[in-house]
């Protein structure tokens, strides 16, 4: 479902965006919509990557090796 919105943008930015839209054979509205979609998708991707990274950190890493000593042996009291 699409919905219209109203934006307040500097006149010079609007002028340049009209030129860019004409060069790319699209509309200013389409340029803005595509930009907003990219911003939202990037944010969603970042949040998913963050959740995955934090889950991996909580799980920990198995780096191999064998511990042949006990803590008590290293720190005799």
- Angle, CA of 53, 45 and 59, to the nearest 5°: 15
Average pLDDT of span 33-42 = 96
Q: Which two tokens stand for residue 62?
A: 């198995």
Average pLDDT of span 5-14 = 95
**Structure confidence at residue 10 (pLDDT):** 97
Average pLDDT of span 50-72 = 87
Q: How far apart are CA 4 and CA 38, in angstroms?
A: 18
Q: Indicate yes or no: pTM above 0.85.
A: no
Q: How far apart are CA 19 and CA 13, in angstroms?
A: 10
């Amino acid at each position: 479902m699409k919905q219209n919105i109203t934006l307040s943008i500097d006149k010079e930015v609007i002028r340049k965006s009209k030129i860019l839209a004409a060069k790319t054979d699209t509309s200013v509205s389409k340029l803005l919509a595509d930009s907003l979609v990219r911003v939202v998708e990037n944010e969603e991707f970042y949040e998913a990557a963050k959740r995955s990274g934090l889950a991996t950190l909580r799980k920990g890493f198995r780096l191999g090796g064998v511990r042949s000593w006990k803590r008590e042996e290293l720190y005799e009291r």
